[in-house]
Amino acid sequence: MGLSKNARLDWTNQLGACDISLRMGMGLEIRPYEPRDSAGLRQICCDTADAGQPVERFFPDREVFGDLLTNYYTEYEPQSTFVADQGGEVVGYVTGCLDTKRFLSTMKWRIVPVVLVKALRRGTLWHPQTARLLRANIGLWLKNGHRTGPTFDDYPAHLHVNVRQGFRGQRLGQRLVATFCERARDAGVRGVHAGVSAENAQARHFFEQLGFAELHREARLRKPDGSGDILFTIIYGKKLG
């Protein structure tokens, strides 16, 4: 689903003349996700998984990680995903969901079981890197249980945004977020949230500049290096008028 004509005009006007010439001069456009974009989207997801660094820093299998992080959005709600395209090549994306409760149910019953079987067949679960990650976090994850807080009631939608190295600093991330928020607003969604590593100052600044406010913090990951240090995720939210 694309933006309406009036919504596109309003959004374009908000970007300013400088951004419009940049988009046209570099052949960049924001458009709805298509199945042909899957490989490029997954590559960016894995290349930027650890605060802009590759997933291999903490997890050994890109295929399994890509399934967990993208399959819901590209297979169950592709109409809420948008990509930044340069000449047919995906250089950024925003994946989104209008109902996080539906997302969690789909992940639990449809996606995670399939990914677990795949990880078993590929030997991913027995990899030393995976074993260290599981040993460090299984207790924390069981203790946390289901996510709670204001996000589901007041901010039912959520999003993830990533831009490929070399295309950052050109307002592509802002445009992608604006496009998803317009999609959510048109669908009557009250608010949207996003999770950001507490250690990622650049990402925190990004969302704060877009009008997102901190809602709460969650203990999401214990470092598998034996230190016992816990990494926190900040949940940012924004009301959609």
- The per-residue DSSP string of 41-65 comes to HHHHHHHTTBTTB-GGGT-S-HHHH
Give pLDDT, residue 140.
47
Average pLDDT on 154-165 reads 94
Give pLDDT, residue 187.
97
Range of lowest pLDDT (52-61, 176-185, 190-199, 201-210): 52-61
User: Rounded distance, CA 84 to CA 31, Å?
Assistant: 7
Give pLDDT, residue 60.
84
Give pLDDT, residue 211.
97
Mean residue pLDDT across the chain:
82
Q: Are 15 and 175 in contact (CB under 8 A)?
A: yes
Ranked by mean pLDDT, the top range of 11-15, 102-106, 129-133 is 102-106
Position with higher pLDDT, 18 vs 78: 78
- Is 147's pLDDT higher than 70? no
The DSSP bridge partners found for residue 30 are 84
User: Rounded distance, CA 12 to CA 19, Å?
Assistant: 9
Task: Give residue-wise pLDDT tens across range 24-63.
Answer: 346 899 999 999 999 999 999 999 887 777 888 888 899 9
- Is 224's pLDDT higher than 90? no
Task: Give residue-wise pLDDT tens across range 76-106.
Answer: 999 999 999 999 999 999 999 999 999 999 9
Topology of domain 5-190, CATH: Aminopeptidase (3.40.630)
Distances in whole angstroms, Cα of residue 87 to Cα of each of 11, 26, 30, 173, 206: 22, 9, 12, 18, 26
The domain limits of the chain are 5-190
Position with higher pLDDT, 65 vs 169: 65
Question: Is-above-0.95 flag for pTM?
Answer: no
Place of tokens 């496009």: 179
